[in-house]
Structure 1
Amino acid sequence: MECLAKWSKGFFLSKTYLYPAMQVLTLSVALFCSFMNFQTWAQNNISWEPASEVAAPSYQNNFPRIAKDADGNPLISWSNNLDLFFTRWNGNGFEEPIKLNSNDHNIAGPGWMGPDIATHGDTIYAVYKQTPEGDTNKHVWCSSSFDGGQNFNLPVRVDFIGHNISRFPTVTTDVEGNPVVGFMKFENDFSEPRWVVVRSDDHGMSFGTDVLASDYSSAMAEACDCCPSTIVSSGNTVVMPYRDNNGNIRDTWVGVSTDGGQSFPNGMDVDEQKWAIATCPSSGPDAVIIGDELYTIFMSGASGSSRVSYSKSSISGMSTSGAIALDANTPTNLISQNYPRIDYHKEAMAMVWYQFSNGKQEVALQFTEDLNQGLNNVQEIVDTDFVNAVDVMLHEGNIWVIWEDEVSGTVKYRRGSYSSSLSSPSLVAEEEELQVIHGKESWLISSGRSQEPIHWQLFNVNAQLLSAGNTSFAKEGQRVEISYDFLPAGMYVLRIQQDKHPTSWKVQRP
C-alpha cells in the first residue's frame, strides 16, 4: 500500500506534547478499488494480560469510552447514569476516578449511550448531556483539561439552540486542539431529529453556532432519533457518521466537512444495505480517517439479524465500498452483534464489538497488525459472559480493550501487546517540519525544511492571548527564540501558523 498522507511532526523535548498536522494526498480511483482485495491473515499476534477492573463497583460501568494522552497512556470515562467519571493510567494501574460534571448536573448515560471523550496531546475534552433530556433548559456541557487529566475546568455550555432539545453529544478536536462537538438536535416535542456540529475556537472556553451535518438522503430524511454516534476528524476533515432514517430505511450515512467543521455540504451512504425497520435500533456507528480513506463500522439488521459490518470510503471521491461483513469466520451459531468501535495507530487497526454466540455474550476483536498487507479477517474473543458496550485504543504496540462487565458491575480492561510490521512502508510518512524545542530560557522554533514566515501566538490555559509575533527564516533549520522569562511557571499553548497551516503546541514554563 502506498503512503496516503504526510505528517508535519515536531516534538517537545520533555515529551509533554505531540501535535501532528495531516496533509491529505489525493487517492486515485484505481488505487482505491485495488484496496478492496483484502488478504486473509493467519492469526492475531497479540500477547494479552489478564482482564482487570478499572475502578470499584461503586462507580458502576455505563458506556465506557477510552482515549489516550500525549504519551499514549489510556484515559477512560464512563457514567452511572447520574455522574460522569474519569480516570487515567499512572503506569501501574488506573487512578481513583474523579467526577467531571457539576454537582447540580445529572447526566444521561444509561449504558447504550452516554458521555464522550477526546484528546489532543495532553488536552482532554469530555462532553455530556444534562437530564432530563427533554427539558429545553438542560444542555450539553464540555469539561476541559490541559494537563493530561490532572485537573479539569468547570463545564462550559455547548448548545445555544433556543427552545430546541439536544441529545447524544460526541467530541473530537481540530488541528489546533480545539473541541468540535456533534449532537442530535430536535424540536421541543422531539420531532425533526438531525445531527449538528458546533466548534470552539478558544479551546473550549466558548462555542459558536451549530451547523447541520445530516439529512442528505432525501428532503424527507431525518436522523434515527435514538441512535448515538461518534464524530471524527483528521486535519481539516471532520466527519459526522450517523444512522439515517429515510422512510424507515436506516442506513449509516456520514456528513463530510473539509473546512474543520464549519460546514458539511456533502454526505454519503457508507452502508448501502437499505435496512428497513420501523423502530429505532439504538445503535450508532464509529469511524476513523486515514489520509483520504474513511473506515466506518456499524450494525445493521438487513440480513435478518443484527450484524456488524464496516465500509471503506474515499473522502475526496465521495465513493464507498458499501457494507463488508465481519462475520465471515465466526461460527454458525452466532445470534447477534452490536455496539461496534474502531481505532488505528500507524499501520495497525482494531475493531471491537459485542456479540451473542455459543450461548454467551462476548467481546469480539478483529485486529490488523499491518494495513499495508490488507485487512486481517481473523477474529478473537477478548472476554465472555455478561458484557455490553465496548471500546478500543491502540498506541505504539499496545492495545487496550474496555467493556461494561455486568457480573462485577465494573468497567473492565484488558491490555495486550503486538509487534508493528517492519517489512512494508508506513501508511503515514514523516517529514521534518516545524519543531518547538525547550531551551534554557526560551522556547525555540526550528524552521525545518521550510523557510516560509510564521505568525505565532502564546496563550495561557484559559485561552487568554499573552503575546504574539511574526518571524521570517533566512535558511532551512534556523531557530528563533520566544523568551518565557516574564511568565510564571506552568503550562501554555503556543499556536503557530506557517503557509496557511496552523499547529498548536502545549509548552511548559519550568
Structure 2
Amino acid sequence: MNSKLFLSLSIIFLIIGCNPNNGITVNEISSPVSQNSSLPRLYTDNTGTVFMSWVEEVDNMSYLKFSSFSNNTWSKPKTVTSDSTWFVNWADYPSVIANDGSPMAAHWLNKVVGGTYAYHINMSVYNEEWSPAFTSHQDNTPTEHGFVSMTPASDSTYAAIWLDGRQTHDREDDEYSDLNKAMTLRGAIINTNAEILEKFLIDDSVCDCCNTSITKTENGFLAAYRDRTDEEIRDIYVTSYVDGVWSEPKPVHADNWSIGACPVNGPAVDASGNTAAVAWFTGAEGTPHVQFAISKDHGQNFQPPISLDNDSPLGRVDLNITESKIWVSWLSPTDNGAKLNIKVYTLDGEELSSKTVNGLSRSRSSGFPHITELGAGLMIAYTDVTGEIPTVRTLILE
C-alpha cells in the first residue's frame, strides 16, 4: 500500500474512533522512527520536553534509539547503543529518562547464558555522550533481571527499581510455591558518573513478570508493582522512599486476586503536588477490569478505586498527572483488534472527558501503549502491527 495513502487511512481511522462531542482531538504526527520499530516509551522531563525511546531491529542487530519533541517536531533520532545479544520482549522494554532538556540515563536488557529468561539489566548515563554499560543489580546469577522503572532524583542522580530473580537461581519447577525462592523487587540510587550510591531490597516476594512503575513526589519517591503473597494473592502494592528508607509495602486496594501465575499486566503511578494516583488491571472475582485510585497524601493512603472498565479489558494501563488533571489509558478488545481508551479526571476523581483511538492490535507484539504530558495535552505512542512490518506511531491528544 502507498505510504501516504496508509497514513491518510490511519488518520481517518483515528478520527472515526474519537467522540467529537467532548472537546478532545487526536491527531497523528510523523514519527521519527524507521521501519521495523517497536517498544516505544515516553518520558516528559522537568522542562516539558518529551523524549521517546524505541527499538529498531535490522537483521540480527537491535538498536536503542531516542528522539525529543519540541516546536511540534521530533529531533533527528540518535542511537544509545546496539548489539545482537539483547533480550527483546513485548512487555519488558528499554527506556530513556531525561532532565533539563537532555537525556539522563538509559536501560536495556542483555541475554546471559543460563536459560530463556536469563538476562541482565544494562544501564548507561549521559554526559555529552553515553557511558559504557554497567549493571544496576550487581548480581551475576543467570536469572531474570528486568521490568525497570527510572526517574530523576536530582540534577545528577536518579532512582531505579526492577524485578530481580537472584533468589530464583536453581529453583526447580516444584519449588515455585516456595516464596524464599521468589522474584524480588530491588532498587538503587545512581549518579550520572555511573556510580551506585545506595542499593535496596524493597520486597522479597513479588509477581514474576509484571512491569513496575515509579514517580517522584514532594517527599521522595512512590513505587507501584504487583505483589505476591504465600496465598498467591497478586494485588498492586505501593511503597514510598522518604529520608533514605523504603516504607513497608501495602496494597493500594485489597482486590484479593488469587492467581498462580503472572498476568504480565503491571500498574502505572504518577504524582503532582500532594496528589498521587495508581492505575491497574485485575482479574479478581473472575471479572477482568481496570481501575485507578487517588491519594491526597503523596501515596500514603488511597481512596476507594474508581472503575474504568469491567467489560473484559486487556489492561496494559498508563497514567499521567498534570497540575489539574489525571489522564488514564488502557487497552480493550474490539471485533477486529483493540482500541486505546483514554479518560480524563480532575484531581478529585470527577470524570471530565474520554476518548477512544481505534485500529490497534490486541496481540502481544503490539506491546504497551504509552502516554505522557505534552503542554496541556498528551503525547501517545504505540506499536502498529497491522502491516507487514511493526512501526511506532505517535499521536497528540489536546
TM bin, normalised by shorter chain, reads 0.7 to 0.9
Match of 2:392 in 1: 411
Instruction: Measure the CA separation in 2 of the matches of 1:109 and 1:340.
Output: 20
What is the rounded CA distance, in whole Å, between the counterparts of 1:47 and 1:380 in structure 2?
8
- Give the equivalent residue in structure 2 for 1:65: 41
Displacement of 1:295: 0.4
Residue 227 of structure 2 is aligned to residue 244 of structure 1:
yes
| 1:256 pairs with 2:234 | no
Distance 1:240 1:189, change over 3 A: farther
Mapped partners of 2:392, 2:139: distance in 1: 34
Match of 1:140 in 2: 121
In the aligned structure 1, how far is the partner of 2:135 from the partner of 2:254?
36
8 Å CA contact retained: 1:345, 1:396: no
The structure 2 residue matched to 1:121, chosen from 90, 100, 117, is: 100
1:234 counterpart residue number:
217
Distance 1:194 1:278, change over 3 A: same
Q: Which residue, 401, 413, 438 being the options, matches 2:380?
A: 401
Specify which structure has the higher proportion of helix. Answer: 2
1:313 partner letter: S
Give 1:283 shift.
1.2
1:100 and 2:80 aligned: yes
Matched, 1:273 2:259: no
Contact 2:160 2:188 in 1 (8 A): yes
Question: Once the two structures are superposed, what CA deviation does each residue of 1:79-100 show, in whole Å capped at 9, x if it has no partner?
Answer: 2584322222253533443332
**Is contact 2:114–2:142 with CA below 8 Å preserved after alignment?**
no
- The separation in 2 between residues aligned to 1:163 and 1:61, in whole angstroms, is 29
Instruction: Give how far 1:289 is off.
Output: 1.8
Q: CA deviation at 1:50?
A: 3.1
Change (3 A) 1:91 1:154: farther
Q: Does the residue aligned with 2:74 lie in a helix, a strand or coil?
A: coil
Compared CA separation, residues 317 and 336, structure 1 to 2 (3 A): closer
Distance 1:204 1:131 in 2: 25
1:384 partnered with 2:384 = no
Work out the CA distance in 1 between the residues paired with 2:281 and 2:212. Answer: 12
| Superposition deviation, residue 180 in structure 1 | 0.8
Distance across 1 between alignment mates of 2:341 and 2:278: 17
CA distance in 2, matches of 1:74, 1:184: 26
List runs of 5+ in structure 1 lacking aligned partners.
1-41, 216-221, 329-333, 418-510
**AA aligned opposite 1:89:** F
Distance 2:72 2:46 in 1: 17
Other-structure match for 1:362: 339
Alignment of 1:28-427 (within 5 A): 44-50=22-28, 52-58=30-36, 60-62=37-39, 64-69=40-45, 71-80=47-56, 82-89=62-69, 91-101=71-81, 103=83, 106-123=85-102, 124-132=104-112, 139-145=120-126, 151-163=129-141, 165=143, 166-186=145-165, 187=167, 188-189=169-170, 191-200=181-190, 202-215=191-204, 222-246=205-229, 247-259=231-243, 262-315=244-297, 318-327=300-309, 334-368=311-345, 370-371=346-347, 374-376=349-351, 378-386=353-361, 388=366, 389-408=368-387, 409-417=390-398
8 Å contact kept, 1:257–1:263: yes
1:310 deviation in Å? 0.7
Counterpart Cα distance in 1 of 2:254 and 2:110 = 34
Identical positions, percent: 18
Shift of 1:326: 0.5
Contact kept in structure 2, 1:180 and 1:199, CA below 8 Å: yes
1:425 is matched with none
How far apart in 2 are the matches of 1:102 and 1:385? Answer: 28
The aligned counterpart of 1:480 is none
Deviations along 1:59-118, whole A, 9 cap, x unmatched? x212x2101245423211122584322222253533443332354x73333112211332
CA radius of gyration, larger in? 1
Shift of 1:46: 2.1
Deviation at 1:243, TM superposition (A): 0.3
Normalising by structure 1, report the TM-score. 0.63
Using the TM superposition, give the Cα deviation of residue 184 of structure 1 relative to its aligned residue in structure 2, in angstroms.
1.2
2:383 maps to amino acid: E
- C-alpha change, 1:322 and 1:248, in structure 2 (3 Å) is farther
Letter matched to residue 98 of structure 1: K
Distance 1:152 1:353 in 2: 33
Count of aligned positions: 354
**Aligned equivalents of 1:196, 1:53: Cα separation in 2:** 34
Distance in structure 1 (CA, Å) of the matches to 2:114 and 2:186:
17
In 2: Cα distance, 1:271 partner to 1:416 partner: 30
CA contact (8 A) 1:355 1:363 kept: yes
Q: After superposing the two structures, state which structure 1 stretch, 155-164 or 387-396, moved more.
A: 155-164
- Partner Cα distance (2:370, 2:269) in 1: 12
Cα offset for 1:324? 2.2
**Structure 2: how far apart are the matches of 1:177 and 1:305?**
45
Point out 4+ residue stretches in structure 1 off by more than 6 angstroms. Answer: none
- Give the drift of 1:144: 2.6
User: Any unmatched runs of 5+ in structure 2?
Assistant: 1-19, 172-180
